[in-house]
């Protein structure tokens, strides 16, 4: 499922509000109540599916406001927030062997980071034989401020972020996915070894 490829997940809400979300005003995540983003997901075998993410207002989690995005057909929800140039998500790493069952909060984009710059985060996983070890996620800015064409549409001021995972010294670094974010639009493409999701259309209410 393309929503799983994005490595985003739902989380139980403390409180849900009907009012439009006001806190998320960042350029690379202009997600608002009523916004929608439709993607083509193309697998390595050529199979294609279409899915749409829709803005569904905000949610309070531990006293912090998060924007709720919901996948139209499955109803799966994803949570985002941003501030001071950092973009956060609640990500599902339960698919990793021994990965945590609950969503993990992590920074998926740093707008002020220079080209080639990187940051790391760790997640505790429980591996057979080795026991509890730290899974390291390394995010690297591999495109900054240039254009990218997706399905014939040219996007400007694009930031590309490659996310690698490793368990030193047990597991060398491997690429989890590479994501591209366009200013004023948000995510426009995500690539993995198995498939690619590309934005087809979007609507962002002003």
Residue 10 has pLDDT above 70, yes or no: no
Question: 16-70, pLDDT tens digit by residue?
Answer: 333 333 444 589 998 888 999 999 999 999 999 999 999 998 888 888 888 888 9
Number of domains forming the structure of the chain: 1
- CATH classification at residue 158: 2.40.360
Q: Using one digit for the tens of pLDDT, what is the confidence trace for 93-112?
A: 777 778 888 888 899 999 99
Q: Report the C-alpha gap between 148 and 205 in whole angstroms.
A: 23
* Residue 72, H or E segment: none
What is the model's pLDDT at position 93? Answer: 76
| Residue 168 pLDDT > 90 | no
pLDDT of residue 1: 38
Domain that holds residue 82: 2-203
Please report the pLDDT score of residue 143 as a whole number.
98
């Amino acid at each position: 499922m393309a929503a799983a490829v994005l490595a985003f997940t739902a989380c139980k809400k403390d409180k849900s509000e009907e009012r439009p979300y006001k806190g998320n005003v960042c350029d690379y995540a202009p997600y608002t109540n009523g916004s929608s983003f439709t993607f083509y997901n193309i697998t390595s075998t050529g199979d294609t599916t279409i899915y749409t993410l829709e803005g569904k207002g905000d949610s309070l989690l531990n006293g912090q406001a998060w924007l709720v995005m919901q996948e139209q057909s499955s109803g799966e929800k994803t949570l985002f927030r941003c501030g001071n140039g950092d973009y956060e998500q609640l990500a599902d790493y339960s698919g990793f062997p021994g990965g945590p069952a609950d969503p993990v909060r992590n920074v998926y984009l740093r707008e002020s980071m220079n080209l080639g710059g990187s940051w790391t985060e760790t997640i505790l996983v429980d591996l057979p034989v080795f026991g509890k070890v730290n899974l390291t996620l390394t995010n690297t800015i591999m495109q900054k401020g240039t254009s990218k064409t997706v399905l014939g549409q040219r996007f400007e001021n694009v930031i590309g972020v490659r996310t690698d995972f490793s368990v030193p010294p047990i597991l060398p670094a491997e690429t989890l996915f590479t994501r591209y974010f366009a200013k004023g639009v948000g995510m426009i493409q995500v690539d993995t070894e198995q498939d690619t999701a590309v934005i087809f259309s979007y609507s962002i209410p002003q």
